[in-house]
Amino acid sequence: MHSIAQLLSCFDPVTGNIAGVPATQRRLEDLRGCFADAAAYEAALAAGNPLLYRVASVEPAAGPGDLHYGVGCLMPGKIGAEYFLTKGHLHSWRQAAEIYIGLAGEGVMLLEDESSGESRMVPLRPHQAVYVPGHTAHRTINTGTMPLTYVGIYPAHAGHDYAAIARRNFRCAVIEQDGHPVMIERSELLKTLAS
């Protein structure tokens, strides 16, 4: 039988910290190439290298039926008009789905079907669960003014594939327009920035 420490984790829904579990930290310098506005990115980096997010992951056994989960905490802010975001990834085991549950703050999930490129912006808020199907690139975006915390639960075999996103980024970006989050084609945003 598992010990109670293996069965129970205690997390803080506001900070996203899990007692006794170290968190991976991602700073602005780790997200080079993710934001459309390169000039705004370099200016923000020159002004400091803020923490964008932390993820504490509970990844015990990795058998075929096992589950892993992580608690994320993504800071509020923007680079140009684009809200702070996670790197985003596909699962290495493409069939692996994931469930995200909002804990605090206000944000969205950007979902992109790997084969069609079809994109959806789905709200991520407390008391809401977002189902991320397999074969779907997913990125978390903080559209609010306080840290966005959430839980993500995924098959132990899911793995992270960051390479495809690092090569081509997401097709769409989420920007603030008139005080609201709007999903637009990244190519359109780049055209606007160049003009």
Residue with tokens 């056994």: 61
Cα R_g (the chain), whole angstroms: 17
Rule CB under 6 A: say whether 89 interacts with ligand F6R: yes
Pairing state of beta strands 172-177 and 180-185?
antiparallel
Closest contact distance (angstroms) between CB of 86 and ligand F6R is 4
Could you tell me which stretch among 8-16, 28-36, 90-98, 174-182 binds Mn ion (CB under 5 A)? 90-98
Beta carbon nearer to ligand F6R, 89 or 125: 89
Rule CB under 6 A: say whether 160 interacts with ligand F6R: yes
CB distance 52 to 31 below 8 Å:
yes
Classify residue 76 as exposed, middle or buried by CB count within 10 Å of its CB (0-12, 13-18, 19+). middle
Helix (H, G, I), strand (E, B) or coil at 103: strand
Q: What is the dihedral of CA 78, 48, 26, 168, to 10 degrees?
A: 60
C-alpha span between 100 and 119 (Å, rounded): 17
Rule CB under 6 A: say whether 88 interacts with ligand F6R: yes
Q: Which residue's CB comes closest to ligand F6R? A: 70
The residue within the footprint of ligand F6R, chosen from 35, 52, 72, 81 (CB under 6 A), is 72
Closest contact distance (angstroms) between CB of 89 and Mn ion is 6
Closest contact distance (angstroms) between CB of 132 and Mn ion is 7
105 binds, among ligand F6R, Mn ion, none (CB under 5 to 8 A by kind): none
168 binds, among ligand F6R, Mn ion, none (CB under 5 to 8 A by kind): none
Q: CB under 8 Å to 175, separation ≥6 — which residues?
A: 80, 81, 82, 83, 181, 182, 184, 189
Handedness of CA 41, 189, 123, 163 (dihedral sign): negative
Rule CB under 5 A: say whether 98 interacts with Mn ion: yes
Rule CB under 6 A: say whether 70 interacts with ligand F6R: yes
Rule CB under 6 A: say whether 152 interacts with ligand F6R: yes
Q: Which residues bind ligand F6R (CB under 6 A)?
A: 55, 70, 72, 86-89, 98, 140, 152, 154, 158, 160
Q: Which residues bind Mn ion (CB under 5 A)?
A: 98
